[in-house]
Amino acid sequence: MASSEVDKVYSPEKVKGHIILFEDPNMAGKFCHVFNECENLVGLSFNDKVSSFVVLSGNWKMYQISGYRSEWSGTFGPGIYKSATDAGITGDDLSSLRCVS
């Protein structure tokens, strides 16, 4: 990919949300960064594995089923969520997410 193509894809103007997902509670274990959205966490090997997360920017909606279906209640803004279960997402049951503002 040419440098100008990288700039178009990853320029700060294109990033409206940034979240870090963790496999274990208290921000432990494997982790992955998501920018803006992820329609299916299978591709990141994180489907139904999120136990905690940190929202660095944006407000996020989370979904039980890939393709943004079966929305979990609430919008998650910047902050540290040491337990997905305490945030209302039960049993490592997160399959897609997106930044909504």
Residue 11 burial class via C-beta count within 10 angstroms: exposed 0-12, middle 13-18, buried 19 and up = exposed
Q: Is the pLDDT of residue 91 over 90?
A: no
Which token pair is 75? 């919008």
> What order of strands is seen across the sheet that includes strand 18-24?
28-35, 18-24, 52-57, 79-81
What is the pLDDT of the chain when averaged over all its residues?
A: 89
Domain residue ranges in the chain: 16-99
Element (H, E) at 18: strand 18-24
Check residue 7 and give its pLDDT: 47
Q: Is the pLDDT of residue 66 over 90?
A: yes
CA 34 to chain centre: 5
Element (H, E) at 3: helix 3-10
Check residue 80 and give its pLDDT: 98
Check residue 12 and give its pLDDT: 62
Which token pair is 39? 């329609």
d(CA 84, CA 46): 14
Q: What is the CATH number of domain 16-99?
A: 2.60.20.10
